[in-house]
Amino acid sequence: MTLSSIQARHYDTDDPIVVSFDDGVICDISPLESRSENVLVLAPGLVDVQVNGYGGQEFNDPELTAEKVLQICLAMDRDGVTQFCPTFTTQSFELLRHSMATVAQAIDEHADIADRCTVLHLEGPYISDEDGPRGAHPLEHVRPPCWDEFQQLQSAARGKIGILTLSPEFPQAEQFIQQVVDSGVVVAIGHTAASSMQITAAIDAGATMSTHLGNGAHGTIRRHPNYIWDQIAADELTCSLIADGHHLPTSVIKSIIRAKTSERCVLVSDITGMGGMPPGKYTSSGLGDVEVLENGRLVVPGQSQLLAGASFPIGAGIATLTENAGIDLGTAVDMASIGPANIIKHELAPLEVDAGVDLVFFEIRDGKFVVHTTVNRGRIVYQAS
């Protein structure tokens, strides 16, 4: 379906506008004289750099196929996501190689997949083996960084690994980070028990990001110094935040954004294959046994505190920031679109004349991010009934 025009409120200025476009390119943006409270919000398509799976299907799957990859890609449309990073968590070399090769080949051979994802995110396996920082990553597959192994995984991924999350607590981490950065990959600090000196060394070696800062951490840490303060204080690091109402208290989200500034913060979903699934216990190919609670919280079964990833899409973070954290809508949307797009060097079309169209048409209703229309490269790929 090809769009001709949309009436909306601009997500940043709140001005009523009508956007006209032809063949996937904006040809006119005009103000509307009348203002309707029922007009939805028009914003750039959302970009999520941490997507582990969706709707019962995960990327860490020994039986992953191109069809299953497409299933996840199309599911992203309903959430207003026009670009995302398939994310692969700590597992055996064989499983990671198979999964990443499958996704990379699917991107190269299927236009519908390539329109939605081009960059892969490897989260682990070079992370802390300590309880807390390790999160729900399987201990048996945690290991020190290995340049030869990473090169083999990058080869299997056809050069598409664009983000690597690791812990810099290993003796050889500094040299490894420099090699990875020199190869053109963004290095993010995450799932770490690193010391202040190790955090600083990682930054000096080229690390520029913190993965889901405040999560993947010990339940109790020393007051100061600690690896959370160190990353908050580092202007060189852009931090990602899971603002789904479960991973971080609102006070923590507000404090990090105020300290880092919104320009150094991006939202991620960290959504897993349990995203979109009803409450119950499941077996995850990537994390083992997990449970979706009645409130949507995804945990290790039998308790309610140890999280096992997320079950809400990235738009939930926009609603959390605007409804509970005192962040204006324009800033919140930028943290879920333009900010993460810059990390992976994705050219997200701006809302201006002669720009290609990647858009989301939404409202925040009853505290929830509700998508009505998603436009990817000028095509309506989702429209609410």
What DSSP character marks residue 28? E
CA 349 vs CA 22, 37, 39, 207: distances in Å: 14, 26, 22, 27
- Reported as a single tens digit per residue, the pLDDT across 279-325 is 888 876 566 788 888 877 777 787 766 677 788 999 999 999 999 99
- Reported as a single tens digit per residue, the pLDDT across 185-233 is 999 999 999 999 999 999 999 999 999 999 999 999 999 999 999 999 9
Rg (C-alpha) for the chain, rounded Å, is: 20
DSSP 45-78: PEEEEEE-EETTEESS-TT--HHHHHHHHHHHHT
Cα–Cα distance for residue pair 285/308, rounded to 1 Å: 12
What is the fold of 44-343? Answer: TIM Barrel (3.20.20)
- Reported as a single tens digit per residue, the pLDDT across 118-133 is 999 999 999 999 999 9
CATH 2.30.40.10 segments of the chain: 5-42+352-383
Return the pLDDT at 1. 47
Pick the CATH number of 5-42+352-383 from 2.30.40.10, 3.40.50.300, 2.40.110.10, 3.90.950.10: 2.30.40.10
pTM (two decimals): 0.93
Beta bridge partners of 371: 362
CA 116 vs CA 51, 76, 84, 89, 120: distances in Å: 12, 9, 6, 20, 12
CATH 3.20.20.140 segments of the chain: 44-343
Cα angle 106, 111, 112 (rounded to 5 degrees) comes to 90
Beta bridge partners of 189: 166, 210
